[in-house]
């Protein structure tokens, strides 16, 4: 009976495994192969050039600029998103006044959860349309209109949010933080609700204030969830294609003058616009390798002893 279970298990696994190898692993292998050629996309004739494409990447100023922008996103996006989500999750779950019945969230916590989560149900296309109107470069834009009404801005000289080289990347970062905080708020809230309330009550009885309760109780017990969230946001920061291509000027975004360029937009421009498909495949391999390295480093750097409760 023991030996009969293996054919049964293999029978269930073989089809998903074949599909995974065919549609995930094999395209990766093909991309690595094409990255070693001078393939031009439409042409079926190409020759092997070795690591020339990778050598060209490190001498490509636009690629280095795009890489630097991804690094900035990699630093700020997880930090800002997770800190805000942790703060809001703490407030809606245990941030209210302690009562005879124990600790509780702020009044109207369930409504706040819905409000914060609402941006998560919006598609990227809707976000692009919405923030395209908010960041409009004239007084008809929401931000410029509000600033003009408050007399903080000259109506004849509005701020060009997405056309200013010093502002465009931070505007995009703000969009993603606004859209992503709600998801992680709900994720952290679910994790917090699994923490016994007795732990919070004991901390309060020992004289701990809210900040001490958060740093000494909540954060250590949520560390596994924070670690997973950090890796997930870091992977997203290495992509960022949709918002950049939809909100910024230029073919597949990246403007003005590459000040919002990220590696994925530069890849797509080389692949579909310039016809440098082999070169674009080399960029794709670099993105994959960098994403794997970032994920491993994040997991290793944030590893802590597991706390049981």
**CATH code, domain with 244:** 1.10.3720.10
For residue 81, the model assigns a pLDDT of 95
Q: Residue 268 is inside which H or E element, if any?
A: helix 263-268
Bridge partners (DSSP) of residue 37 are 48
pLDDT band at 101 (very low <50, low <70, confident <90, very high): very low
For residue 304, the model assigns a pLDDT of 66
> Which whole-number Å values give the CA distances from 113 to 46, 78, 92, in the listed order?
54, 20, 8
For residue 175, the model assigns a pLDDT of 94
Please say if the pLDDT value at position 259 is more than 70: yes
Residue 160 domain-assigned (yes or no): yes
pLDDT band at 16 (very low <50, low <70, confident <90, very high): confident
The mean-pLDDT minimum among 99-103, 210-214, 243-247, 266-270 falls in: 99-103
CA nearest to 247, candidates 143, 145, 169: 169
Residue 12 domain-assigned (yes or no): no
d(CA 169, CA 73) in angstroms, rounded, equals 9
Other C-beta atoms closer than 10 Å to the C-beta of 156 total: 7
d(CA 188, CA 89) in angstroms, rounded, equals 6
Read off the DSSP letter of residue 309: -
Residue 89 domain-assigned (yes or no): yes
Other C-beta atoms closer than 10 Å to the C-beta of 49 total: 18
The mean-pLDDT minimum among 177-181, 193-197, 200-204, 267-271 falls in: 200-204
For residue 213, the model assigns a pLDDT of 80
pLDDT digits (tens, 9 = 90+) for 198-238: 787 787 777 777 778 888 888 888 888 898 899 999 988 98
Residue 10 domain-assigned (yes or no): no
pLDDT digits (tens, 9 = 90+) for 139-191: 788 999 888 888 888 878 888 999 999 999 999 999 999 999 999 998 998 88
- Percent helix / strand / coil, the chain, rounded to 5: 65, 0, 30
Residue 240 domain-assigned (yes or no): yes
d(CA 219, CA 221) in angstroms, rounded, equals 5
Rounded to two decimals, the pTM is 0.88
For residue 263, the model assigns a pLDDT of 94
Mean pLDDT of 242-264: 90
Number of structural domains (the chain) is: 1
d(CA 173, CA 179) in angstroms, rounded, equals 10
For residue 110, the model assigns a pLDDT of 77
C-alpha count within 13 angstroms, C-beta hemisphere, residue 292: 6
Please say if the pLDDT value at position 267 is more than 60: yes
Range of the domain at 122: 60-301
Residue 146 domain-assigned (yes or no): yes
For residue 113, the model assigns a pLDDT of 81
Residue 187 domain-assigned (yes or no): yes
Mean pLDDT of 16-26: 90
Please say if the pLDDT value at position 94 is more than 90: no
Residue 26 domain-assigned (yes or no): no
């Amino acid at each position: 009976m023991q030996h009969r279970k293996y054919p049964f298990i293999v029978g269930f696994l073989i089809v998903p495994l074949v599909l995974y190898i065919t549609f995930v692993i094999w395209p990766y292998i093909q991309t690595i192969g094409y990255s070693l050629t001078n393939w031009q996309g439409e042409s079926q004739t190409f020759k092997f050039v070795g690591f020339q494409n990778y050598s060209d990447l490190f001498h490509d100023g636009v690629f280095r600029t795009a890489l630097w922008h991804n690094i900035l996103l990699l630093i700020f996006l997880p930090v800002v998103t997770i800190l805000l989500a942790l703060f809001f999750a703490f407030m809606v779950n245990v941030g209210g006044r302690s009562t005879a019945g124990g600790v509780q969230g702020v009044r109207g916590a369930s409504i706040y959860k819905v409000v914060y989560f609402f941006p998560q149900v919006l598609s990227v296309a809707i976000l692009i349309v919405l923030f395209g109107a908010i960041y409009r470069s004239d007084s008809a834009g929401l931000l410029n209109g509000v600033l003009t009404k408050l007399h903080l801005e000259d109506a004849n000289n509005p701020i060009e949010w997405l056309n200013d080289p010093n502002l465009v990347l931070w505007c995009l970062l703000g969009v993603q933080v606004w859209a992503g905080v709600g998801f992680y708020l709900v994720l952290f809230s679910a994790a917090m609700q699994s923490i016994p309330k007795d732990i919070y009550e004991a901390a309060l009885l020992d004289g701990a204030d809210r900040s001490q309760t958060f740093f000494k109780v909540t954060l250590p017990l949520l560390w596994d969830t924070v670690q997973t969230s950090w890796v997930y946001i870091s992977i997203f920061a290495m992509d960022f294609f949709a918002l950049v291509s939809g909100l910024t000027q230029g073919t597949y975004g990246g403007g003005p003058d590459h000040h919002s360029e990220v590696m994925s937009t530069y890849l797509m421009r080389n692949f579909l616009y310039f016809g440098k498909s082999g070169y674009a495949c080399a960029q794709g391999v670099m993105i994959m390798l960098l994403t794997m390295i970032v994920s491993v480093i994040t997991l290793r750097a944030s590893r802590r002893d597991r706390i049981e409760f």
